Amino acid sequence: MEITSLDTKSLQTEQLLQLMELWNREYPASLAHKTLEDFEAYLATLSYCKHYLLEENNAIFAWGFEFDRNEERWFALIIGKAKQGKRIGSQLLNFMKQSNKQLNGWVIDHGNATMSDGSFYCSPLAFYLKNDFQLVSHQRIDNEVISAVKIQWNS
């Protein structure tokens, strides 16, 4: 598995389009980005942003990224449905862990969020707990866009 590492400024338009499509396909509809400009504006808000891409036949099927927020290192991870369950997510997380002492993330911990196709989002909480993340249950986001709990990994 070859991981391509890029900063936000190095992402090409075709990569950005594929990443936005992956995001919109795998995350709940409430988190969707309607336009490339909207997606780029979101990425521009992230400080120290580093992307990790996995591709097959010039198509991105997995994306991890880390960034700084409130003096902490945060991350997000998206694996295309066809590649889930093949340890790719765990391998990508382990790759990110090698250069960090701590990773923080938000994870939807319920089955109420709907996808753009009308199906329900499957919470990845069990996946993160299996990969040595701890639940920070007293820190949550609950608004009209997302309901999620904080998770944290420490080396």
Distance of alpha carbon 75 from alpha carbon 96, whole angstroms: 9
Among residues 46, 74, 52, 82, the alpha carbon closest in space to that of 64 is found at: 52
83: number of Cβ within 10 Å? 14
What is the per-residue pLDDT across 28-57, written as a single tens digit (0 to 9) for each? 999 999 999 999 999 999 999 999 999 999
What CA–CA distances, in Å, run from 119 to 26, 28, 43, 77, 98? 11, 9, 27, 20, 35
The one-letter amino acid at 46: L
pLDDT of residue 9 exceeding 90, the answer is no
pLDDT at 25: 96
pLDDT of residue 93: 96
Q: Which tokens hold the place of 58?
A: 């010039």
Catalogue all structural domains in the chain, each as residue range(s) with its CATH number: 4-154 (3.40.630.30)
pLDDT over 80 (residue 70):
yes
pLDDT confidence of residue 41: 96
pLDDT at 137: 95
Question: For position 2, what pLDDT does the model report?
Answer: 83
pLDDT by residue (tens digit) across 107-142? 999 989 999 999 999 999 999 999 999 999 999 999
Instruction: Give 78-101 pLDDT, tens digit per residue.
Output: 999 999 999 999 999 999 999 999
Task: State residue 17's pLDDT score.
Answer: 98
Give me the pLDDT at residue 7, please: 87
pLDDT for the residue 8? 84
Provide mean pLDDT across the span 9-26. Answer: 96
**1 pLDDT exceeds 80?**
no
For residue 69, what pLDDT is reported?
94
Question: How many helices (H) and strands (E) in the chain?
Answer: 4, 7
